[in-house]
């Protein structure tokens, strides 16, 4: 008999702590459906964010690690390097990734670390009560921007488009942005995450899927209005689709195609001999 619908084995069958209309639960569901479909439950490891998804280990029925806020890319780097045949998922919110852990995120992407980041963008610091995030829209109100984000006189900066930023880096291979506002977009987001997971399991470099996600509580809206607000305001600011697809061998810039200094002309630092000391020879 063919099973048409069921609860994913990788998702515990319990109520979550998320507010009604929150996008995190849908994103958990997409991830766990894929882990089941790909038969990877025994090989999946998630690094939890700090933020509303900090309790993700209560929901995901596979291994998890809880690094400090913003440091999940550093933890995921270590895990994936030690266990390259595992599916390592780095789950991050927008405050977690684009503010508190900016350095970790950029350098992991630039190094081409071979894990997959799921970046949940709800344009706000959800867990701590609605402070402005790097992705908060111009004019959007937050507890720390009560008159709306103002990049002008108030000097609050502009919303950071993380996908486009990371797409510039040679270490990144697949970057896409989806949303969980409609059934069709949920299916598309699942397709992007599937592609990223498959690329990871094929040993290809850094992959990331951003997912635009409603936070009705901190947007002070009911769940239906929050979905409409996401459609009307977030999608125009953060366009959906594949931002970078460098998975095909023919499109990859190999090391040989990147500008490099010929070895015989490379400058030699005066204290180059100190490398033995740095390696612990002394």
Ligand X SMILES: Cc1ncc(C[n+]2csc(CCOP(=O)(O)OP(=O)(O)O)c2C)c(N)n1
Contacts with ligand X by CB under 6 A lie at: 49-53, 69, 93-96, 100, 120, 122, 124-128, 133
Query: Distance from CA of residue 242 to its chain's centroid?
Result: 14
Q: Does 216 bind ligand SF4 (CB under 6 A)?
A: yes
Contact region for ligand SF4 (CB under 6 A) — 15-23, 78-86, 159-167, 240-248? 15-23
Please name the helix (run of DSSP H) or strand (run of DSSP E) that holds residue 88, with its range, or none: strand 87-93
Q: Does 105 bind ligand SF4 (CB under 6 A)?
A: no
Contact region for ligand SF4 (CB under 6 A) — 18-26, 149-157, 194-202, 259-267? 18-26
| Phi, psi values for residue 60, rounded to 5° | -85, 125
User: Which residue, 37 or 222, has its beta carbon nearer to ligand SF4?
Assistant: 222
Nearest residue to 61 via CA among 19, 90, 86, 28? 28
128 binding partner (options ligand SF4, ligand X, Mg ion, none; Cβ < 5 to 8 Å by kind): ligand X
27 binding partner (options Mg ion, ligand X, ligand SF4, none; Cβ < 5 to 8 Å by kind): none
Q: 3-state SS string over 160-171?
A: CCHHHHHHCCCC
Burial group, residue 8, by CB count within 10 angstroms (0-12, 13-18, 19+): buried
* Residues of the shown chain interacting with Mg ion in the complex, contacts defined by CB under 5 A: 93-94, 122, 126
User: Would you state the structure tokens that stand for residue 223, as one six-digit string?
Assistant: 């769940």
Selected binder of ligand SF4 within 92, 207, 217, 246 (CB under 6 A): 217
């Amino acid at each position: 008999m063919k099973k048409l619908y069921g609860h994913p084995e990788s998702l515990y069958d319990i109520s979550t702590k998320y507010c009604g209309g929150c996008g995190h639960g849908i994103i958990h569901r997409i991830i766990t459906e894929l882990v089941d479909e790909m038969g990877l439950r025994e090989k999946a490891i998630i690094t939890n964010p700090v933020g509303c998804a900090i309790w993700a280990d209560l929901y995901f029925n596979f291994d998890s690690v809880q690094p400090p806020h913003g440091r999940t890319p550093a933890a995921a780097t270590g895990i994936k390097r030690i266990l390259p045949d595992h599916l390592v998922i780095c789950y991050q919110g927008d405050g977690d990734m684009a503010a508190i852990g900016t350095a970790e995120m950029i350098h992991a992407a630039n190094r081409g670390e071979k894990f997959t980041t799921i970046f949940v963008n709800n344009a706000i610091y959800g867990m701590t009560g609605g402070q402005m995030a790097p992705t908060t829209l111009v004019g959007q109100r937050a507890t720390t921007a009560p008159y709306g984000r103002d990049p002008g006189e108030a000097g609050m900066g502009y919303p950071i488009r993380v996908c486009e930023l990371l797409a510039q880096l040679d270490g990144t291979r697949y970057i896409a942005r989806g949303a969980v506002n409609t059934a069709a977009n949920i299916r598309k987001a699942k397709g992007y995450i599937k592609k990223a997971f498959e690329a990871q399991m094929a040993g290809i470099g850094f992959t990331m899927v951003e997912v635009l996600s409603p936070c009705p509580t901190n947007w002070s809206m009911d769940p239906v209005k929050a979905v409409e607000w996401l459609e009307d305001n977030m999608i125009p600011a953060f366009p959906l689709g594949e931002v970078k697809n460098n998975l095909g061998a023919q499109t990859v810039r190999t090391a040989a195609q990147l500008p490099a200094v010929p070895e015989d002309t490379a400058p030699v630092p005066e204290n180059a001999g100190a490398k033995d000391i740095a390696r612990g020879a002394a």
